[in-house]
């Protein structure tokens, strides 16, 4: 866990007059699973592509797997597995044919053995002759992961890998990721799912090109400075709109039959809710701030660099 796998400093990427990644620095160590969070258009995918050698950096420096980002992108590509947002294998080929093709691209010495072992390790052997285009989302995801790891990369970069996948397949996917990390593989994964972020060892939050928070989930929540109250009682739908316009309240969100009411100043938050506390039908109680609350607050604070 002490070996640094990603060490990038002040990464910057521009497209025309738009700066889509702005001064991003990141350190990831061997065996870590680091979640990369942020709204759409924040530069997560661009940052990942720079780190795996697919996109030239405009400013900054760093090393990935000990190789220089500027001068050794080819060596980085050979040791990285990159799973894109969209399924990128051939849908008119079978699972086995797709993996055979990938093994050839990586110039693996024993293609047949590599395909056989990869099929077995991901539970794909019984489906090996099934066309990729006829697979469900979960099985496509598993095939994509198999293609990414069959050359035994040291670093796995996953760009929103579970979009459109059912909860059972997502859980199985994450069980596999944790098993790979336990064996020493390092994983950087971008995601919009808060439950997935909570499965990561650490998270980094990027908002419109700038890295604004990093640490464990508990550390990021604590550093946000947010306080949350749980409000239960009748008429909450109508009440939510009024509370959003009340001084001292920054967020109001429905959670089941209750409201999460969030603010940065606990005294002002409690003062705003004090009239409700006197109503016998209503109940106001402290509750833990969720990662989603923090995510929304970060978005609200950050200017959209693409606006």
Q: Read off the CATH number of the domain in which 238 is found.
A: 3.30.70.100
pLDDT at 14 over 90: yes
pLDDT tens digits, one per residue of 38-67? 888 889 999 999 999 899 999 999 999 999
pLDDT at 301: 77
pLDDT tens digits, one per residue of 239-295? 999 999 999 999 999 988 999 999 999 999 999 999 987 788 999 999 999 999 999
Same domain, 22 and 158: yes
Same domain, 154 and 252: no
pLDDT tens digits, one per residue of 64-90? 999 999 999 999 998 999 998 888 899
pLDDT at 303 over 70: no
Q: Read off the CATH number of the domain in which 213 is found.
A: 3.40.50.300
Same domain, 65 and 95: yes
pLDDT band at 305 (very low <50, low <70, confident <90, very high): low
Same domain, 101 and 239: no
- The 3 state secondary structure assigned to the chain is CCCEEEEEEEEEEEECCEEEEEEEEEEEECCCEEEEECCCCCCHHHHHHHHCCCCCCCEEEEEECCEECCCCHHHHHHCEEEECCCCCCCCCCEHHHHHHHHHHHCCCCCHHHHHHHHHHHCCCHHHCCCEHHHCCHHHHHHHHHHHHHCCCCCEEEEECCCCCCCHHHHHHHHHHHHHHHHCCCEEEEECCCHHHHCCCCEEEEEECCEEEEEECHHHHHHHHCCEEEEEECCCHHHHHHHHHCCCCCCEEEEECCEEEEEECCHHHHHHHHHHHHCCCCCEEEEECCCHHHHHHHHHHHCCCCCC
pLDDT tens digits, one per residue of 181-212? 999 999 999 988 888 899 999 999 998 899 99
pLDDT tens digits, one per residue of 83-142? 988 888 999 999 999 999 999 999 999 999 999 999 999 999 999 999 999 998 889 999
In a domain, 303, yes or no: no
pLDDT band at 1 (very low <50, low <70, confident <90, very high): very low
Question: Where in the sequence is the domain holding 283, given as residue range(s)?
Answer: 227-288
Same domain, 157 and 247: no
Same domain, 147 and 174: yes
In a domain, 300, yes or no: no
Same domain, 269 and 284: yes
pTM assigned to the model: 0.88
Same domain, 139 and 232: no
pLDDT at 17 over 50: yes
Same domain, 277 and 250: yes
pLDDT at 2: 58
pLDDT tens digits, one per residue of 168-185? 888 888 999 999 999 999
């Amino acid at each position: 866990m002490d070996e640094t796998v990603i060490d990038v400093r002040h990464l910057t990427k521009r497209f025309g007059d738009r700066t889509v990644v702005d001064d991003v620095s990141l350190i990831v160590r061997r065996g870590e699973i680091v979640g990369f969070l942020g709204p759409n258009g924040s530069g997560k995918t661009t940052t990942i592509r720079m780190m795996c050698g697919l996109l030239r950096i405009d400013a900054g420096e760093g090393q990935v797997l000990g190789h220089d980002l500027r001068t050794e992108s080819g060596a980085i590509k050979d040791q990285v597995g990159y799973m894109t947002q969209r399924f990128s294998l051939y849908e008119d080929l079978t699972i086995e044919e797709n993996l055979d093709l990938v093994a050839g691209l990586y110039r693996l010495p024993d293609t047949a053995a590599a395909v056989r072992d990869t099929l077995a390790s991901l539970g794909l052997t019984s489906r090996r002759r099934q066309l990729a285009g006829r697979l469900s989302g979960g099985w496509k995801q598993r095939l994509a992961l198999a293609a990414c790891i069959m050359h035994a990369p040291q670093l796995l970069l996953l760009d929103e890998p579970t979009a459109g996948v059912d909860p059972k397949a997502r859980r199985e996917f994450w069980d596999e990721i944790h098993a790979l990390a336990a064996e020493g593989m390092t994983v950087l994964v971008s995601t919009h799912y808060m439950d997935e972020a909570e499965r990561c060892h650490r998270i980094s939050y990027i908002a419109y090109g700038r890295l604004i928070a990093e640490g464990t989930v508990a550390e990021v929540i604590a550093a946000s400075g947010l306080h949350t109250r749980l409000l239960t009682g009748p008429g909450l739908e109508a009440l939510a709109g009024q509370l959003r316009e009340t001084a001292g309240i920054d967020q109001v969100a429905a959670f089941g039959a209750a409201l999460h009411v969030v603010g940065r100043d606990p005294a002002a938050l409690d003062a705003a809710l004090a009239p409700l506390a006197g109503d016998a039908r209503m109940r106001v109680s402290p509750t833990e701030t969720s990662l989603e609350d923090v995510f929304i607050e970060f978005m609200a604070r950050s200017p959209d660099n693409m606006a």
